């Protein structure tokens, strides 16, 4: 099966390409931003028609939440219309379409793990543009899945954001700087290698609808940071604080953990605990030897 990947140089896309490249019976076609502009239907049609894939992973996005707030038109052009362009061409080609979405489609009011049947209510332009992308993907291509991920960490770091949370924490911890980390916004982190292997299973089985694709169970950013610091044996103070300590113009969900039950049914296995995924990441990045 031939699988095209948009956003192939991004944090998720890099590992999707790596995992799919090693998979038996899969030929991967990476599509960098230079090779496809998802906001432009002609570019999408040209790139995907040339690739002639049986499935497309659409991981390209404008996901700097502050910048999306400042430039809603661009956010909707890429995250919503871009998703529509990719899904329309997938439908024309008869390809399975995977749209990568986010926990930011929820407002956090549920305060318990969100499942796929829960009604979304985004608080930010980014969340709203991604929710529009979900709807447009599913309306343009019946053979599509929305895969929601969250709080991503991967070896290449987010291009748009310049790194990832774990690397930022470890850099400060290694410099001996005391850390203050938010402890009141539970979420479910996602290791890109684990998301990529779940996406491979999805592409092979081709379920439709929405699935939550994150490691489990819920934790706070404080739990996540403390675990990374402890696993690396760094002796630095990590203080839990509330989110008011980091004022932001962007409204974010105060609770955004995603339930993994439906994914486990869909691919016949759960995503592993985030603690194991974090250890694997630290080994892969050379922060830990085993
Ligand atoms: N990072 C997170 O914590 C997180 C959380 C939840 C969901 N997500 C979702 O996960 C997906 C992957 O995120 P990521 O962390 O891998 O992001 P990333 O590292 O910023 O990668 C995004 C990729 O998309 C490309 N791209 C941007 N605009 C494009 C356009 N108009 N046309 C074609 N390609 C374009 C970028 O290329 P250039 O850099 O060359 O422009 C980059 O390769 C996104 O859909 C995002 O919304 C991310």
Q: How far apart are CA 163 and CA 270, in angstroms?
A: 27
For tokens 């990947």, the residue is 5
Å from CA of 16 to ligand 1 middle: 12
Judge contact between 280 and 193, C-beta under 8 A: yes
- Closest-CA residue, ligand 1 atom 26, reads 60
Counting from 1 in the atom list of ligand 1, the atom nearest the Cα of 161 is 20
pLDDT digits (tens, 9 = 90+) for 171-222: 999 999 989 999 999 999 999 999 999 999 999 999 999 999 999 999 999 9
Judge contact between 144 and 83, C-beta under 8 A: no
pLDDT digits (tens, 9 = 90+) for 232-246: 999 999 999 999 999
Ligand 1 pocket mutation pick from 30, 39, 40, 60 by most atoms within 8 angstroms of CB: 60
Q: Binning pLDDT at 50, 70 and 90, where does residue 156 land?
A: confident
Does residue 63 have its Cβ closer than 6 Å to ligand 1? yes
**Which pair of tokens denotes residue 139?**
């309306």
Å from CA of 269 to ligand 1 middle: 27
In angstroms, the Cα distances linking 218 to 18, 41, 174, 211 are 27, 38, 26, 17
Domains and CATH numbers, the chain: 2-163+191-214+258-272 (3.40.50.720)
In angstroms, the Cα distances linking 24 to 2, 52, 200 are 11, 19, 11
Å from CA of 178 to ligand 1 middle: 31
Q: How far apart are CA 80 and CA 61, in angstroms?
A: 9
Q: How far apart are CA 77 and CA 39, in angstroms?
A: 6
Q: How far apart are CA 9 and CA 223, in angstroms?
A: 29
Q: State the CB neighbour count (10 A cutoff) for residue 242.
A: 11
Counting from 1 in the atom list of ligand 1, the atom nearest the Cα of 78 is 31
Return phi, psi of residue 160, to 5°: -65, -30
pLDDT of residue 157: 74
Q: State the CB neighbour count (10 A cutoff) for residue 289.
A: 6
Ligand 1 pocket mutation pick from 5, 10, 16, 165 by most atoms within 8 angstroms of CB: 10
pLDDT digits (tens, 9 = 90+) for 254-272: 999 999 999 999 999 999 9
Query: Which member of 126, 222, 255, 281 is catalytic?
Result: 126
Q: Binning pLDDT at 50, 70 and 90, where does residue 163 land?
A: confident
Please confirm, yes or no, whether 126 is among the known catalytic residues.
yes
Counting from 1 in the atom list of ligand 1, the atom nearest the Cα of 77 is 31
Lowest-confidence range among 56-70, 73-87, 155-169, 182-196?
155-169
């Amino acid at each position: 099966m031939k699988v095209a990947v948009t956003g192939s140089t991004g944090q998720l896309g890099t590992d999707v390409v790596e995992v799919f490249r090693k998979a038996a019976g899969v030929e991967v076609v990476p599509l960098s931003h230079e090779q496809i502009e998802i906001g432009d239907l002609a570019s999408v049609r040209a790139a995907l028609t040339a690739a002639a894939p049986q499935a497309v992973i659409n991981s390209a996005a404008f996901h700097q939440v502050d910048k999306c707030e400042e430039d809603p038109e661009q956010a909707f052009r890429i995250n919503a219309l871009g998703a529509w362009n990719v899904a329309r061409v997938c439908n024309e080609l008869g390809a399975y379409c995977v749209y990568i979405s986010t926990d930011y489609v929820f407002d956090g009011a549920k305060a318990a793990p969100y499942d796929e049947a829960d009604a979304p209510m985004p608080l930010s332009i980014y969340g709203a543009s991604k929710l529009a992308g979900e709807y447009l993907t599913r309306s343009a291509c019946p053979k599509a899945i929305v895969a929601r991920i969250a709080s991503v960490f991967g070896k290449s770091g987010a291009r748009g954001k310049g790194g990832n949370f774990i690397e930022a924490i470890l850099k400060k911890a290694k410099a001996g700087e005391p850390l203050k980390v938010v402890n009141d916004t539970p979420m479910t982190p996602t290791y890109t290698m684990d998301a990529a292997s779940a996406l491979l299973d999805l592409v092979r089985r081709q379920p439709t609808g929405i699935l939550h694709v994150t490691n489990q169970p819920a934790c706070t950013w404080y739990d996540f940071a403390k675990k990374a610091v402890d696993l690396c044996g760094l002796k630095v103070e990590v203080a839990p604080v509330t989110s008011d300590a980091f004022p932001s113009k962007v409204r974010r969900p105060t609770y955004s953990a995603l339930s993994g039950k439906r994914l486990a049914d869909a691919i016949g296995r759960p995503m592993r605990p985030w603690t194991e995924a974090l250890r694997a990441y630290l080994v892969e990045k050379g922060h830990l030897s085993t």
